[in-house]
Every structure is written in structure tokens, then in C-alpha cells.
A and B are shown apart, each in its own frame.
Chain A
């Protein structure tokens, strides 16, 4: 990097060429007041607080928008500068309501702090105060235009960084204000990024309105409990209760960015159905029990089942939301105290496919994503994944990459947020991403655009080559609906890019991709001689990768999820479920329900009385993520601490501790009695990950639907993730529910016409497995012959219609819709 040397306040400092005075100063620990600068945005130069004196320069210079020069001499706090700042503050306060006593921002307001620093001015002019109505009409975001100093940070973070563009300036001069179009009610993705960036109290979290003065709160750094990004959210605790979340510059891998889940989703721990005591089913009803009683009961019943049917009749389900320690203890308990290898999780339908694809293709047992990977590629190809909703903050790096000049091609059937921020939208038929990839490879091979030396040396090259013979541009065009030219051009441009990346998500509830899509992605990577880490598939949730790595999956002959829950011959007699709610989150609920009903013993250990827990023989209350110590492993492989920052709920104890006690009740000591002891053993296990030598191999991957549409079920149902939610957990957050709380079905205007469906009316959705009712939303974002349904809401029972898949076929669901 080219460094420039300059002097600031007599101190010689160095900074990168092209940096501004403000950036150079901040980097060197010199603070220059600023109100419209943000490290993530390009300089704006509006507030004029950052003025400094530059030697040889007439007048003052705005530090945020003046580039440094070699030998520049800068003074940031001279009397002239102070006077100018004071003048700016006077102007900013001219129309300001000065309602600090009732402003939630007071105490952490930059305007307040600066006014304090540069001194008050006697009020030389009684201008009329701004008098705009407060806007409380949208969820989670409140707006008080009177306090606004028009720094434009909210507008720019929303548009340039978040990729949304929900708000802008309207009006001119001092009548300018921030508003959604036509002063309508703000209706956006509600990430809350604008709130964090607002220097004053003009934007605030509605959920935090009048909750506390800032000086009464402690702020705790915590890892977000939702997706695999592993962001740090800063949670404010007052009187033992979390009342606010926010991002903070320099904190965490997210460096201050957060999505709505990280900012608002913490309150799921205050849901009404939190479990407070153990419960045992007596005469058909779950009734309160003491820990001793409950553990003794589980131990005895478990013991007798083992005795009667053998340990292999016991199975366990781990949790992507519980800590590494919790999951480690679950599998240790199962393997050492019970003696079974039937251990698996919901990741079987999700991340396991990614893992399998990487293992088969690269011989790798551990492939975390690279947080910065999107920024290092000139051409990013995203296959049927809205990364901005599944991994919202990592997704920002895709938008950033594009803003920095990379080409972002998104193959998707739906107009997702990522599509809106892409350079190229390849609109294909849902589920045909694998065919598109095959088609690209066919062109690449036929036109000799691949890395012949490397690719031909990889095992199975000729098998790949012959497997692609049917994927001619014409054939692939017929399958995907993408034109032959677009397929060819995509193949040519992708293969000729300087650096490349293929990315896709691996959500357990998604049904437009499968193992084959991921294998095809890996094939493409190898064909072009790229490194395996140019295939980026993130693990889904906050601790999916940690759970997986802690051993929650069969190691030897144990049953995988589909055998445990969906096999016809019910060989399991007892099932132990930790922090998972199969009745809501697993596909084909009828099959799951049937299996669970057939259990001799069903133990559910959770923080809520979930629909699954309601079926249990014993329910054990566990601590939520904020009520215990432990670690999560992010999709990028970072092991990060979670901490007990609030008291446990009722008699709940941490999941790991339940296993310590339960094993003792069963007369076995697992030998680990604290988080520290567990962590030590886990680290040993984790330290071996990703150390093996890679061994590349092509795996031909065909495009096939498991079930095809028919005249009876002419449409395909796509299960979708929406940005504001994550699995079923987030739907227990009141804050997030205030944004989206109901399931719905999106369909195209043409299909609405065809099936006589009116917007916002209820429709019946019928598959061969059952039927459900959903509210219909007619949307231009979705293609014809397809319906999109978010999966997060228990009451919608979308999993009545869906079915599980762990292999190569695409599990789209043929359905029929009718007005209800």
C-alpha cells in the first residue's frame, strides 16, 4: 500500500494514499468531530463540523472530504476551527426542538456531546422550532423529523450500503426532510441500520421508546443467536432485562452492521411460552416436576428401554441454536452414557448436503466460508440463494463487491433483494440451478475455456465430461428458461473473469437446491482450476457449524435423521430432542408426528413449550443463549463466546448441565462438570478440523425433480426464507413479529388471474400430503407456475405439504391452489 506522511497537530502520521484527513486522523487516534461521516460510506461533506486548518490553504477544509497529501500540515483544534464548529452547532440548533429531556438518544447523542464540548451560544434568534409530527406508524423504527440534522447518513446507509433505498431527502433548503416516498408509512426491510447511524434522536428503535435513559444500562457484547454470520450485537441490559440491541463500529466481524434479527430479535427469550420448570406427563397431561424427579424419571425409563431394546433403540436430535458445549455434551451423553450413535440434527436437510458435497468433491471435512471472500472476486455467481436474507450481513459484502466494481450474477427465479442489487439477473425456473451450472460447464468444455491441465488431472474428469453431454445450451435453455445466448455468455464471461466465486446457501427448509446443485458448483470450481474456497456455502444458523463439528451426526453406523424420523419400520423406542422443534421445522409433519407418537419415551429439552414439547413424556427447561456461558461457531469458522448476561428463567439450567446431571442420575459420570472443562475437550476435538489433505474429484450431478408437477398439482411450491426471520425461532420475537408475523403465499399476477385469486384473500394450498390455508399476496417478484411460501411460522403448517430430501433430487412440492 502506498503510504502518505503528514502532520496532524504536530504529530507525524502515516495513512494510505487516497485517504481523507478525517480517515487519516481517526486511524491515528486523533478525533475530529464529524456528523455526516461513516466509515462504510463515501464522504458527503454536508455537516461542516469536521473543518480543520491546513497549512497553506486559505480558509478551512472539511476533513472528511479533503484528501491527504504528502507533507500536509493539519491542525484540528485551533481557535478558528473551534469558532467555526461552534457556529455550525449554533446553526444546527437553530430549529432543533431541544427536547433532550424526553429524547431516548440523550446521553449518546453526538449533537448533544458536541454542543457540550464547543460551548453553548446564547440564543440569538428565536427561530420557530421545527414542528413535524412524529412518525410511529411503522414497526420497530420511529422517526422524529424535528430532531433531524439532515446529515444524510440514514439515506446513504440504506441505499449505498444496505442496498434498499427506502428513504431519501424530500424538499429543499431547510424544509428538507427525510422520508419514504410521498411521505408514506415507512415500509422497508427494517434492518435498523439507519437507527444506529443516526447521530441524533431523529431515528430510534420503537421497541426501546421511553424504556430507559442510556446511563442506566449496561451494554454487553453478544454473538447474535440467529444466522451463521456470527455478528456481535451489543445488548443493553437494564434491571436484568435486555431492552435494546445495536451494532457498534469496530466490534465483531460485522464491524457495526446488523440485520433486524441481530438488532431486534433478542426478545424471543421473553416469549410467553418459556419453560420454567421440568414437566412430566402424568395421566396424559404435562405437570410440573422437580429437577430430581424429572431426571430420575428420564434415567429410569431410558435405562429400561436400553435394557429391553438395546442402546441402538435410542436416538437424539441436537440443536443448531445451542452452544458447542451443549451439543458436545449431548453427543457425549448419547455415546458414552447411553451407547448409541443415532445422533443427528435438522442440518441433515441443510448443511449436511454442503458438507457432503465438499467432502466428495474436495475431500475436505471442514470448509467454513471466508468472510471477505466476496470482496476478493471479480465475478460472483450466486445460485438460487438470497444471501442477503439468509446471511444478511455477509450478504452486504456481495453488495459491496458489486459497488466496488465486481460483476454479481444472480441466478434466481424470484426477484430477491440480492437480485435487485446484482449486475445480472439470470431468471431461471426454480430448482434448475444445477442444470444451469451443467450447461455452463458444457459450454466451457466444448469451447476449451477450462483449465485443461488441472481439470484433466482430477479424478472422474471423463465421467464429468460424458455426464454433461445432454446439457447442451439448447437443452439447458429448455429446462431453465434461460436463453442459449445467456448461458453461453455466462459461461464465457465467468470462465474468463480474473477471479471467481460461486456461492449458495444450504438452508434446511429450502427446496430449490440439493446436494447435486452443490456438487455441480464444486465441479465448476474444479473445472476452471479454481481453489475449493471459491465455492462458498455457509452453514445456516448461529451454531450449525459448531454443532456439526462437535459431533452431532452419526460417526459410525448410527441412524441419520431420515431413518430416525421418516423410516417406515419404527425401530427407535426413545428419542431425546434438544433445542429443536421437528413438528414445526421438519418437512412432512404427518410422518414426523406419527413417529414421535410411536415413541415409548420422548424427552424434549428446550427453552419453550414448543409443539414438539407438548407431545413429550418429559420436558426439561433450558437456559437461552443469554442465560449461559458457552461458544458458537460461525459459518466462517470463528469460535465466539456467548455469556450469561441475564438471569436464567425459572428453574432453567444450561443444556450442557442437564447432561451432566442426567448422566449422574444414570450412574455414569461424563467427567466434565463446567463450561471450562468441556471447552478444553471440545477445543482439542476442533483443533483437528480442516487439517486433512485435500483430494479432488468430480461428481457428475444431474438435474432431477423428486416430484414433478402434474395436471392434478400443476404448480410448484418453493419454500422461502424471509429476511426478518430465521428458522422458527425468530417468530417468537415480538419485535420481529411486529414486522412480519403471518405466513403468506406469493404468486404471480398471471396465476392469480388464472386461479381467480384476489390479493390478500385466503387460498387453499393442496399437495398430495395435505392442505393448508394461506393469505395470498400477488407479486411481480415471482414467476408463473410457482408459489413462494415462507417457512417460519408454526401456525401456517407449511410442512404439512413438504417432504425431506438429503440427496441429489430437488424437493420442490407440486401443489394446486384454490380460493378458500
Chain B
């Protein structure tokens, strides 16, 4: 599978020259000869689902935004990639920036946006330089600007550097932040597609989502859908970390099983140890036990196994992992990143992590695990955004799947 990472193998893949030589910007040229609405239709037909975590159908978003009469429209690329375990956008940003730019230019043309922003994670300074250079080169070559490829299409693209808040990856908080405000999510509706950046129709997609667009436009929806599964078509980037022999970013069709990813592509568990657990899609997806290896990694099958595809950031744990500590570490992440807007997340997640802390330091009480479950229940479904809910389902996942260990019962680990 080599679509999203194709160009990376060419020397100087970050350079415009290298990108073009390996077939880059052909799709843009093709797209500009199409009717914008035809592109939107094609994306909708393809069934492409957003790669940022929620899996919302991209074509649907584009359709709504392009039909909204308000002007101007904006396009935002979510490059905030801040969730522990997730680093799948990074190779695109750092090694294949023109793929993103091309994808965004096509999307902008399709929905009628004249301005676009790449909201880039503050901890990716290399990516910033690379993207900025790529943008300058694209302007010079006529892939961005007031009259792109001489076809009368105008699109300007800017990089906005985040300040290190995970919540700004949430699309409405991202818009607030872009507008110079405190990064806190907004009430939906109105959705960004109708009232987003500066209250104008705004499409926000993940880096990888945009990266799918040039290929999709090039081959058409029908050919695109041959990759992956019917409900989750297309290629997917999986970032794998933890106890595997070959951690890294892998491009595989949607629906590839966990087993194949871990044992074929990543070379199995480190030091020949036994697999204990996997977090399949970044730390906001519930942890899975070792007996779920046959689960196909896609939007539909993971929920059947009690988890979610999320961003596709796998974290693999072997038999020596102390899952209580892992749970604490993850919960602390959410506590630290909670924006503070809503009560359940702000207060509840901090409470969860305090309890986990005392459990890990041996000062736990017998009823603590029940308390964790109850607090999680009080958080789940009551938060303003998915961050707090994420923290709650993650704790629930640990307790439900590894209860004896969470209760600290000796020998439970074996």
C-alpha cells in the first residue's frame, strides 16, 4: 500500500521538484478542470471518512459547507496531532508537505474557499519550517495564489502554529484559537460547516483526510473504494508504538487486522514477550485485551470489540506492563489537558487521576475501583466535548478489561 506515503520514497520528497516528479499536482490540475460540485459528489460517493478520529464522512461536510450561501468560506487543516500514541500525520507534514497542500487546494476549490489555514501542533517546529517553505514554493509555482495554474482559482494558505494545548485539536476550540481566543470548544450547533471561523462556513479536516484527496480525484471514487472495506474505504496510516520490534507509521488498507499490523508489519512483540494489551487509536480509545487480535482495524469493527479506530495510533503493551500506571499516566494527560470549561471533565478527571495516583502508590482503598467506575459514569455523556468523555471511557476500559490488575491483586498479572 503506497498512496499517502508514496512520495516519501523519492529523494527530496519535501521539495516541490521531487513531489512533481513523482506525479504530484496532477490531481489539482485535473480538479480545476472539473466542476466544484462534481468533486464534492465524487468525495461523497467515495465514502471517505475523516481520519482525525471521529470518522465523519468528508463528502457530507463538504456538501453542507458548499451549499451554505454565506461567504467567504474557510478551509482548515487539523494538524494539531496531540494525542499520545498518534504520530501518523507527522510523516506527511514533514516529508510530504505538497501532498497536503495539493489536497487542501483541491478541497478549497470544491467547497469554494479562498483562504485556508494549517493549524499545526506547537511541538512540530520542523514541520512548520518545511510547510512554510513548501507553501512559498507552491505560490511561486502557481499552485497557490490568486490565479492558480492560470485557471482563475484563488486560494491562499497559511500556517498557524499552536501553543501546545491538546484541546485545540477539537475543531471548535481550534477555531476559537485561530480567532485569537482561549482554546475552548464551542456549542454545536451551529456546526463549523455553517458557522465556523469568523462565523463563516468552514470545513475542517485532518491532515490525512486531505492527503487522500489527490489520489481520490485522480482515480475516481469507484477505484478508490476498492481499497479498504465498504464502510471504511481507503488507505489508512497507523502509527504504532510500544512493545513491538518495528514501531513506526504504516500505510495499510482500512480493515487490516490487529494481528497483521503487530505481527507482520511490526515484527511482533519485542524480546519475544507476550502481548498483553493494545490501545488501538490513540489514548482516548479504550484498551483491548490480547484476545482481540482478529479485530479488523476500521470504523465499524473496533466498536464491536469495545473500542474505536480513533486516529489509528496503536500502543502495544507486553506482559510486563503495569497497566495501573499506564491508566494513571493517560488520565493525568487528560487532567492536564482538560480545558476547564465543563464541570465533569475539569473536576471529575482530576478526581480520577487522584484516585489512580493513590492506588499506584499503594495507598488505595478497596472501594477505589468501584469509585473509578462511578465517577467515570458521572463524567461520561455529560461533558461538553469528547475530551472528558474520552477520559471516562478509557478508565472504564482499563477497569472492565483488567479488573484484577486494576484492583492490585497480586498474581493477577500472570
Contacts and interface: CB of A to CB of B under 8 A. Distances in A.
Given A48-B342, A91-B344, A174-B346, A127 B351 contact: yes
Contact of A51 (B165, B354, B382): B382
Interface stretch (A59-67, A296-304, A498-506, A604-612): A59-67
B342 A60 contact: no
A124 B347 CA distance: 14
A88 interface: yes
A138 interface: no
| Nearest 7 pairs of A and B residues by beta carbon | A176-B340, A87-B378, A91-B347, A173-B338, A59-B381, A65-B187, A174-B350
Contacts of B340: 150, 169, 171-176
A279 B84 CA distance: 82
Nearest to B183: A172
Contact of A44 (B187, B189, B355, B378): B187
Nearest to A159: B181
A665 interface: no
A48 B344 contact: yes
Nearest to A65: B187
B338 A174 contact: yes
Interface string A329-365: 0000000000000000000000000000000000000
B263 to A, nearest CB: 37
A92 B347 contact: yes
Contacts of A125: 351, 354-355, 371
Among B335, B338, B346: residue with most chain A CB under 10 A? B346
B348 interface: yes
A47 interface: yes
Nearest to B345: A173
Contacts of A48: 342-344, 382-384
A43 interface: yes
Interface in B142-192: 165, 167, 182, 184, 187, 189
Among A46, A67, A91, A124: residue with most chain B CB under 10 A? A91
Interface in A155-176: 168-169, 171-176
B341 A152 contact: yes
B182 A168 contact: yes
B355 A169 contact: no
B337 interface: yes
Interface string A80-93: 00001001101110
A94 B184 CA distance: 23
A45 interface: yes
Interface in B334-385: 335-344, 346-351, 354-355, 371, 378, 381-384
Interface in B181-217: 182, 184, 187, 189
A95 interface: yes
A172 B337 contact: yes
A175 B383 CA distance: 18
B187 A45 contact: yes
Given A91-B378, A171-B340, 15 more contacts: A42-B187, A51-B382, A59-B381, A125-B354, A127-B351, A150-B340, A150-B343, A150-B346, A169-B182, A172-B167, A172-B336, A172-B337, A172-B340, A173-B336, A174-B335
A153 B294 CA distance: 50
28 contacts: A43-B187, A46-B384, A47-B343, A48-B344, A49-B343, A65-B187, A67-B189, A87-B378, A88-B344, A90-B378, A91-B344, A91-B346, A91-B378, A92-B347, A94-B351, A125-B371, A127-B351, A127-B354, A149-B343, A152-B341, A172-B167, A172-B337, A173-B335, A173-B346, A174-B335, A174-B340, A174-B350, A176-B346
A173 B167 CA distance: 11
Among A43, A46, A62, A149: residue with most chain B CB under 10 A? A46
A150 B350 CA distance: 15
B381 A60 contact: yes
Interface of B: 165, 167, 182, 184, 187, 189, 335-344, 346-351, 354-355, 371, 378, 381-384
A698 B354 CA distance: 76
Contact of A46 (B336, B343, B349, B355): B343
Nearest to A124: B371
Nearest to B350: A174
B347 A95 contact: yes
A386 B163 CA distance: 38
Interface string A430-466: 0000000000000000000000000000000000000
Interface residues of A, number: 37
A84 B384 contact: no
Contacts of B342: 45-48
B187 A173 contact: no
Interface of A: 42-49, 51, 58-60, 62, 65, 67, 84, 87-88, 90-92, 94-95, 124-125, 127, 149-150, 152, 168-169, 171-176
Nearest to A89: B343
A60 B348 CA distance: 17
Contacts of B383: 48
B339 A172 contact: yes
Contacts of B182: 168-169
A173 B354 contact: no
A341 B67 CA distance: 71
Contacts of B354: 125, 127
A172 B382 CA distance: 19
A88 B348 CA distance: 9
Contacts of A150: 340-341, 343, 346
Contacts of A45: 187, 341-342, 384
A173 B343 contact: no
A169 B183 CA distance: 11
Contacts of A87: 344, 378, 382
Contacts of B338: 172-174
Contacts of B348: 91
Contacts of B187: 42-45, 65
Nearest to A64: B187
A91 B384 CA distance: 15
Contacts of A149: 343
A92 B336 contact: no
Nearest to A87: B378
Contacts of A46: 341-343, 384
Nearest to A171: B340
A91 B339 contact: no
Contacts of A84: 378, 382
A90 B343 CA distance: 10
Contact of B339 (A58, A90, A173): A173
Nearest to B347: A91
B339 A92 contact: no
Contact of A94 (B335, B341, B347): B347
Among B337, B341, B350, B355: residue with most chain A CB under 10 A? B341
B343 A172 contact: no
Contacts of B371: 124-125
Contacts of B346: 91, 150, 173-174, 176
Contacts of B336: 172-173
A709 to B, nearest CB: 41
B199 to A, nearest CB: 10
B351 A91 contact: yes
Contacts of A91: 343-344, 346-348, 351, 378
Contacts of A176: 339-340, 346
Nearest to B381: A59
A196 to B, nearest CB: 22
Nearest to B167: A172
A21 to B, nearest CB: 13
Contacts of B165: 172
Nearest to B165: A172
Among B342, B348, B384: residue with most chain A CB under 10 A? B342
Nearest to A177: B340
Contacts of A95: 347
Nearest to A47: B343
A40 B189 CA distance: 19
Nearest to A88: B343
Among A47, A149, A173: residue with most chain B CB under 10 A? A173
